[in-house]
């Protein structure tokens, strides 16, 4: 199995590389210095040059607020380069697995979003990720798009690592308590991707292409998530004590672009495909805290 992996040093990409290599697959792990996603033509050329059995795209422009002032760059990375991947994979007739986001939704739902629910992104980041989904669907039939949410891991920048860092220097923190979602451990996303690849390879005429939701079980908000992070941090020995945490509203913490107030994803479709349930985010949090201690 020869896998072309874009974004190999990111949160999900680094976990993918580890899991793929453990399975004995030949992994072509590309970084930004290898292929710059601000140059879609170079992305297309890489897909055609390496001639892998499957392409996994874990590369994205994810700076939500910064994207408002860098719409063109975000579009190049999140949409046009994804179209290039689709074009190259279509010409080679190989499948592509692409990671998308809960930010394609506006957050007005009251129950977990399904893959069929209306998309309506609030900002540039979500809009460019949606454009990436649509362009991939247009370019190539053999695609799996995995929408995920609130990603955290031992690599890269994320909420868990930020909170642990702040807790070491502050006795009191204020965290938004009226935005709800499902934190998702990068290792569980990577494992799901590996299982999807195996499912495709082990099915004679695989036909279940399309969009799937992929997030950990458990609904929470940023305030309660931060408290769980501090509790687990102390338990793992990463923190010496838990700081006081105060719940504030989104209105009290303005950002350059709006966040979905509710972005819990319904993962039943993926669970049926893989014949397994997604784990709880709490298990992933424990793994990350223990890994950071090492």
pLDDT tens profile 249-279: 999 988 888 899 999 999 999 999 999 999 9
pLDDT tens profile 186-234: 999 999 999 999 999 999 899 999 999 999 999 999 999 999 999 999 9
Q: In the numeric block, which tokens belong to residue 250?
A: 């989104």
In percent, the amount of the chain with pLDDT more than 90 equals 94
| Residue 229, CB-side half-sphere exposure with 13 Å CA sphere | 29
Q: What is the mean pLDDT of residues 16-37?
A: 95
Which of 59, 16, 28, 27 has the alpha carbon at shortest distance from 195?
16
The pLDDT score that the predictor gives to residue 49 is 96
**What's the predicted TM-score (pTM) here?**
0.95
pLDDT tens profile 117-149: 999 999 999 999 999 999 999 999 999 999 999
Which of 65, 68, 84 has the alpha carbon at shortest distance from 76?
84
Query: For residue 294, what pLDDT band results from cuts at 50, 70 and 90?
Result: confident
Active site residue 125: yes
Q: Which CATH architecture has domain 2-158+184-217+264-280?
A: 3-Layer(aba) Sandwich (3.40)
Domain ranges of the chain: 2-158+184-217+264-280
Query: For residue 293, what pLDDT band results from cuts at 50, 70 and 90?
Result: confident
From the list 61, 125, 185, 262, the catalytic residue is 125
Q: At what angle do helices 222-236 and 281-293 cross, to 10 degrees?
A: 40
Chain Cα centroid distance, residue 147: 7
């Amino acid at each position: 199995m020869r896998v072309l992996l874009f974004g190999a040093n990111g949160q999900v990409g680094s976990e993918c590389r580890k899991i793929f290599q453990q399975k004995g697959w030949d992994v072509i792990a590309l970084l930004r210095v290898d292929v710059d996603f601000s140059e879609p033509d170079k992305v297309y050329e890489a897909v055609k040059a390496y001639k892998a059995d499957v392409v996994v795209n874990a590369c994205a422009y994810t700076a939500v607020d910064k994207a408002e002032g860098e719409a063109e760059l975000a579009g190049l990375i999140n949409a046009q380069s994804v179209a290039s991947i689709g074009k190259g994979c279509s010409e080679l007739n190989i499948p592509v697995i692409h990671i998308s986001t809960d930010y394609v939704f506006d957050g007005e739902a009251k129950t977990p979003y399904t893959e069929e629910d209306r998309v309506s992104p609030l900002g540039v980041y979500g809009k460019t990720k949606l454009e990436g989904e649509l362009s991939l669907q247009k370019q190539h039939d053999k695609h799996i798009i995995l929408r995920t949410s609130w990603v955290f891991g031992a690599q890269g920048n994320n909420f868990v690592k930020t909170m642990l860092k702040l807790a070491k220097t502050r006795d009191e923190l204020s965290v938004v308590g009226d935005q709800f979602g499902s934190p998702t451990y990068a290792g569980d996303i990577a494992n799901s991707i590996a299982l999807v690849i195996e499912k495709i390879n082990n099915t004679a005429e695989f036909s279940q292409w399309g969009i799937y939701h992929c997030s950990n079980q458990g609904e929470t908000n940023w305030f309660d998530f931060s408290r769980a992070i501090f509790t687990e941090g102390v338990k793992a020995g990463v923190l010496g004590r838990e700081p006081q945490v105060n719940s504030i509203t989104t209105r009290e913490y303005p950002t350059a672009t709006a966040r979905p107030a509710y972005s819990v994803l319904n993962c039943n479709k993926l669970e049926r495909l893989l014949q397994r349930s997604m784990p709880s985010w709490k298990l992933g949090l424990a793994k990350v805290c223990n890994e950071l201690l090492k």
